[in-house]
Structure 1
Amino acid sequence: MMHDALERQRFEQAVASLCLLDDPFMTVVFQDNLACVDLVIQIVLNNPNLHATRVITQDTIQNLHGHSVRLDIHALADGQEFNIEIQRAAGGAARRRARYNGSIMDAAALQTGEDYDRLPETYVIFITETDVLQGGQPIYHIQRRIDGTNEPFDDGSHIIYVNSSIHDGATPLGRLMHDFRCTRAEDMYYEVLAERVGHFKGNVGGDERMSNQLWDAYVRDYIVPKIEQRNAERCEQALMEGKNTERLSSIKNLMQNLKFSAEKAMEALSIPKSEWARYKAML
């Protein structure tokens, strides 16, 4: 009995902590929901006339000769193709990953013998927890340009990074990012997201959380372990950052007080040579 109560508490805490930046939760919220996709692409592209006709979450596109990809959200809207990726870790939003996702969508878009002009406009959109491009901007539009003239190359491929750390209520994008980081449906700006999130966690307008065996099993077997893994990784990262800070302080003290070179200081502190370049870059 006590075990069941603890398991239920663990379940409830996991559900309460979820937001749309958690890709397992985003998966169930956006699955088969065109209205949620419409909201995101309309705001990100500043085009209220875009309307999705198809959405698949966690869509695997096979590459028979190499690395296949699984897209968080894969959508079609008005003849254009979208991949929306949710990334908490900066490494998951690598620039070459954005390039590769776009290339895989292109490779799957044409049938044998079809002309390249039939390739759709593609948008790879990374919504990130932090400002991974470190430019202080809420949104970054990346497109190819021609050296010398600075004219757009206009090949139909687009990469967009959305920085969710800017989440004020002053702009539609800021409000959307607020909602992506929000754990309570009743605190969200956009009704279409609040209603969908409210079905799975908490209550909106008195509706009790949608509860069924499939959802409970999904939370217990997939979401809870994911959250616990994420929390463990954050603890490990915090410990590593503390260790790095302490070592950097010691290196600087030896360099300033004893006039050691960086290499001599790291040798005196018994820092492995394999880590020297990393610490020198942080000095």
Structure 2
Amino acid sequence: MNEEERFDFEQKHEEDLQRLRGFRLLDDDFMSKVFEDKDCVEFLLQIILKRDDLKVTSVSSQYVIKNLQGRSVRLDILAVDRQNQVYNIEIQRDDKGAGVKRARYNSSLIDANVTEPGEQYQNLNETYVVFITENDVLGENLPIYHVDRIIRETGKMFNDQSHIIYVNSQIRDETALGKLMHDFTCTNAKDMYYEVLADRVHYFKEDEKGVAIMCKAMEDMRNEAAREAEKMKAIRMARLMIEDGKLSYEDIAMYTELTLEEVEKIALEKKSA
């Protein structure tokens, strides 16, 4: 590493440390690391669902669900409990990211990806999509919104075991949920109510090993963002080349470093547009 590269590295590292100091649990990159811990996820769900008996058996952060027929999604947190119920927990600071159709889409992809071919529909897992939002997205000034299908004519629950929950972090009262939302807005672990969360926040902000993990995660995110930017640039170039019509798909793939299948898909999308 030459002197210029070392200076650039040190500058980015200092910027990462500065960002880390300002992180809250409402920042999804930070939240995803904190809630890799099963105890934290379990505690969170117990408060939101008011279920002390809930026991989480597995947790995955930044879990990607591929959709070969459409848009794939990256879930902040995907957890499963001992009753095989599935939970997707999303942090959304941007109201658009917490739209009702986003919740529906997440729910549908989870259903499609937790079932095996040939499995009976009645064996579908009970699922919960939980959005913790910085703003009151649904606008009714409630701390929490439970969304379930009902039969209009009778008012009875449809009971398809597919649940959507919005948690409004703007309400930070003295209830268990209000205190939880208070903790989600703290930048300092010392200001938090709940020890299980505060300890984890302290680890990633104050402990040498935890800070190193977070800095590495931020570096990885930068690199991934750069790769995605390069990919989007290649896709834009491929579209222009296809529109120009002078090159074969094989040549376009070679020049843009996309796969032939990706180029063919871009061409097909362009024709159907």
Q: TM-score range by the shorter chain?
A: 0.7 to 0.9
Aligned length: 219
In structure 2, the CA distance between the partners of 1:137 and 1:217, relative to structure 1 (3 Å rule), is same
Structure 2 residue corresponding to 1:193, chosen from 194, 197, 201: 197
Partner letter of residue 49 of structure 1?
D
Separation in structure 2 between the aligned mates of residue 193 and residue 34 of structure 1, nearest angstrom? 11
Superposed CA offset, 1:231-262 (max 9, x none): xxxxxxxxxxxxxxxxxxxxxxxxxxxxxxxx
Deviation at 1:15, TM superposition (A): 1.1
Gap regions ≥5 residues in structure 1: 203-207, 227-283
Find the counterpart in structure 2 of residue 131 from structure 1.
136
* Alignment pair present for 1:158 and 2:157: no
Matches within 5 A, 1:48-197: 48-77=52-81, 78-168=83-173, 170-197=174-201
Separation in structure 2 between the aligned mates of residue 38 and residue 197 of structure 1, nearest angstrom: 16
- How far apart are 1:214 and its partner, in Å? 4.7
Q: Distance in 1 between matches of 2:66 and 2:8?
A: 42
Deviations 1:31-62 (A, max 9, x none): 2x110110111111110110110100010011
CA 1:212–1:80: 2 relative to 1, 3 Å:
same
1:73-115 CA distance string (max 9 Å, x none):
0000121000000000000001001001011111112212111
Question: What amino acid maps onto 1:45 in structure 2?
Answer: L
- State the Cα RMSD in Å: 2.2
Instruction: Tell me which residue corresponds to 1:219.
Output: 218
Structure 1 residue 9: deviation in Å?
A: 4.3
Contact 1:198 1:209 in 2 (8 A): no
Letter of the 1:67 partner, please give it.
R
- How far residue 70 of structure 1 moved from its aligned partner, in angstroms, is 1.0
Shift of 1:10: 2.6
1:213–1:36 distance in 2 versus 1, CA, 3 Å: closer
Aligned match of 2:28: 23
Residue by residue, what CA displacement relative to the aligned partner does 1:128-170 show, whole Å, maximum 9, x if unpaired? 00000000000000111111111111101000000001112x1
Q: Does residue 43 of the first structure (1) align with residue 47 of the second (2)?
A: yes
Q: Which runs of 5+ in 2 are unaligned?
A: 1-5, 226-273
Contact 1:201 1:210 in 2 (8 A): no
- Note closer, same or farther for the CA distance 1:28–1:115 as it changes in structure 2 (3 Å cut): same
For the structure 1 residues 196 and 149, does the alpha-carbon distance in structure 2 shift closer, same or farther, using more than 3 Å as the test? same
Tell me the CA shift for residue 63 of structure 1. 1.3
Q: Is the 8 A contact 2:205 2:211 kept in 1?
A: no
CA distance in 1, matches of 2:88, 2:197: 19
Q: Could you say if the C-alpha distance between residues 156 and 210 of structure 1 is closer, same or farther in structure 2, counting changes exceeding 3 Å?
A: same
Q: Report the equivalent of 1:277.
A: none
SS in 2 for 1:75: strand
- Kindly report which structure 2 residues correspond to 1:250-265, keeping only aligned pairs within 5 A, or say none: none
Report SS of the residue matched to 1:201. Answer: helix
TM-score (norm 1): 0.72
SS at 2:89 equivalent: strand
Partner of 2:17: 12
The CA deviation at 1:12 is 2.8
Q: TM-score, normalised by structure 2?
A: 0.74
SS of 1:92's equivalent in the other structure is helix
Change (3 A) 1:75 1:211: closer
Give distance in 2, aligned partners of 1:64 and 1:6: 40
- Tell me, in whole angstroms, the C-alpha distance in 1 between the residues paired with 2:46 and 2:99: 24
The answer for the alignment partner of 1:259 in structure 2 is: none
Q: Distance in 1 between matches of 2:20 and 2:217?
A: 11
